[in-house]
């Protein structure tokens, strides 16, 4: 990383700045700010080079409460689950502003607000009937089906009828 000189010059031309004593231009490295972000992170993969899919406690259509972050306390519905990085997309939560350029010549740009994904550890399943957030548990019913339920209320989350309705609604929305 380039070091800064002690000269407080506001004028800089192509990496050259004027010397404060003689007024001549001298070569000086241009200052660049470096962010400490990881540009690329290696993900865990199986032997066949496919990513390892992580099990998550939320599914599409679940009602969740945000437990940390800027939208803490909001209650909404899960729209999409991203298993490869354990993130979820929640309706009207974590709204980001995107500035889009016009696609054709002469077309004006626009400002779009989109929902950005948040980590699944920042959400907790929510019971609409009891109005309480709870962790999830798993149990087997009498007929042998494994279902998810809320630990605090005992409310069963997985019902085959609701699951089928959600998937039919998603397919209609995509078309």
Task: Say what the pLDDT of residue 87 is.
Answer: 92
What's the gap between Cα 158 and its chain centre?
25
Cα separations (Å) of 60 from 57, 76, 93, 132?
11, 12, 15, 19
Q: Which residues lie below 8 Å from residue 84, measured CB to CB, with a gap of 6+?
A: 43, 51, 53, 54
Q: Is the dihedral of CA 41, 45, 47, 48 positive or negative?
A: negative
Task: Say what the pLDDT of residue 83 is.
Answer: 86
Q: What is the pLDDT along the chain (175 residues), one digit of tens a residue?
A: 444 444 444 444 444 445 545 555 444 444 434 344 455 666 677 888 777 777 889 999 999 999 999 999 999 999 999 888 889 999 999 999 999 998 888 899 999 999 999 999 999 999 999 999 999 999 988 888 888 999 999 999 887 666 666 667 666 666 6
Task: Say what the pLDDT of residue 72 is.
Answer: 96
Task: Say what the pLDDT of residue 89 is.
Answer: 94
Question: pTM for this one?
Answer: 0.63
Task: Say what the pLDDT of residue 165 is.
Answer: 67
What's the CA gap between 14 and 29, in Å, rounded? Answer: 10
């Amino acid at each position: 990383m380039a070091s800064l000189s002690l000269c407080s010059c506001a004028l800089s031309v192509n990496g050259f700045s004027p010397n404060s004593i003689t007024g001549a231009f001298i070569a000086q490295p241009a200052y660049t700010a470096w962010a400490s972000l990881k540009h690329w992170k290696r993900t865990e993969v199986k032997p066949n080079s496919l990513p390892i899919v992580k099990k998550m406690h939320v599914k599409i259509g679940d009602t969740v409460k945000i437990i940390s972050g800027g939208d803490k306390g909001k209650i909404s519905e899960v729209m999409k689950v991203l298993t490869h990085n354990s993130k979820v997309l929640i309706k009207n939560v974590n709204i980001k502003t995107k500035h889009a350029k016009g696609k054709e010549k002469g077309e004006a740009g626009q400002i779009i607000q989109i929902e950005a994904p948040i980590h699944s550890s920042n959400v907790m399943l929510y019971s609409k009937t009891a109005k309480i957030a709870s962790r999830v548990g798993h149990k087997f019913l009498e007929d042998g089906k494994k279902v998810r339920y809320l630990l605090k209320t005992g409310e069963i989350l997985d019902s085959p009828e609701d699951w089928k309705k959600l998937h039919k609604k998603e397919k209609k929305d995509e078309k």
